[in-house]
């Protein structure tokens, strides 16, 4: 079974440009999460999808970030326009949706974003 995949693995862009990150969750996983780790700091939650709906977007830093999950499969995270402080590693994770309060989150390898 394929794990969570993310594309691209690295992205280097100029300040003010737009970047779109993609996450493909494990097939059948309704829950999809985006996290971000800014250099040297902790990994922070950005948002959570259940299928195509945004369940929790309390971690989105500002309106320059737009996440979508059309059709409830893959998700994209667009940063427009990118700022220097957006540099970091963006992780995606997915989990099954069951009746349990716990569902293991499986992480992708991350996308390293560098804004110059």
Partner 1 sequence: AQTVTQSQPEMSVQEAETVTLSCTYDTSESDYYLFWYKQPPSRQMILVIRQEAYKQQNATENRFSVNFQKAAKSFSLKISDSQLGDAAMYFCASQPYGKLTFGQGTILTVHP
> Considering beta carbons, is residue 37 or 78 the nearer one to partner 1?
37
CA–CA gap between residue 19 and residue 116 (Å, rounded): 13
> Considering beta carbons, is residue 41 or 71 the nearer one to partner 1?
41
Closest separation in Å from C-beta 101 to partner 1: 6
Report angle CA 16, 7, 109 to the nearest 5 degrees: 115
What is the DSSP code (8-state) at residue 95? E
Task: Tell me the CA distances in angstroms from 89 to 51, 76, 103, one per residue in order.
Answer: 24, 15, 23
> Considering beta carbons, is residue 82 or 93 the nearer one to partner 1?
93
Q: Interface residues with partner 1 (CB under 8 A)?
A: 3-4, 31, 33, 35, 40-45, 48, 55-56, 59, 91, 93, 101-102, 104-105, 107-110
Closest separation in Å from C-beta 51 to partner 1: 14
Closest separation in Å from C-beta 14 to partner 1: 25
What residues contact residue 14 under an 8 Å CB cut-off, 6+ apart?
82, 115, 116
Instruction: Enter the tokens of residue 47.
Output: 């948002």
> Considering beta carbons, is residue 1 or 42 the nearer one to partner 1?
42
């Amino acid at each position: 079974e394929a794990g969570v995949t993310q594309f691209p693995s690295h992205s280097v862009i100029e300040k003010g440009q737009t970047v779109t990150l993609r996450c493909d969750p494990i097939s059948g996983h309704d829950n999809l999460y985006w996290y971000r780790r800014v250099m040297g700091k902790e990994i922070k939650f950005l948002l959570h999808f259940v299928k195509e709906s945004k369940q929790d977007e309390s971690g989105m830093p500002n309106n320059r970030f737009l996440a979508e999950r059309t059709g409830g499969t893959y998700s994209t995270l667009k940063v427009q326009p990118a700022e220097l402080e957006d540099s970091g590693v963006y992780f995606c994770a997915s989990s099954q949706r069951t009746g349990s309060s716990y569902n293991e989150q499986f992480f992708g390898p991350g996308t390293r974003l560098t804004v110059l």
